[in-house]
Amino acid sequence: MKKGERKTPDIYYDPLARFTPEEKATLRQILVSPVYVKLLRVVEGFKPSSNCGMAGSTGRDAFSNDRANARLGEIRGWELHIAAIYRALTDAPQPRTETEPSYPLSGTMQLEPKIPEKK
């Protein structure tokens, strides 16, 4: 790497990546550290504003609803990304290894006519 060159990490989804308990403990310490909290406060300044030109009650046109929807999608994506960071550290429930018993006649309707008994 040359002097002054910035290198960004190669980020991609790895479905097999899991955190060990030690890694989770380290990440939880990072998330509450004052430096990381300060970083999140600075990053909040880049969050899309809910104010969108030509999408409010004043100055509307044919595309106002589309602009408002796009802005709400940006805000939702922003909030979901932050929530995903915290969600990655929660312990997900283990998948069931046993299958539930299925009974062949449990979901069928019995439509055979029955003759009432005489008393």
Please check whether residue 72 is in contact with residue 49, taking contact to mean a CB–CB distance below 8 angstroms.
Answer: no
Instruction: Provide the residue-wise pLDDT of the chain in tens; the chain has 119 residues.
Output: 577 788 888 888 888 888 899 999 999 999 999 999 999 899 889 888 888 777 766 777 778 888 888 889 999 998 998 888 888 888 776 666 676 666 666 666 777 777 778 77
| Threshold 0.75, pTM exceeds | no
Q: Can you tell me whether residue 9 is helix, strand or coil?
A: coil
The separation between CA 13 and the C-alpha centre of its own chain, rounded to angstroms, equals: 14
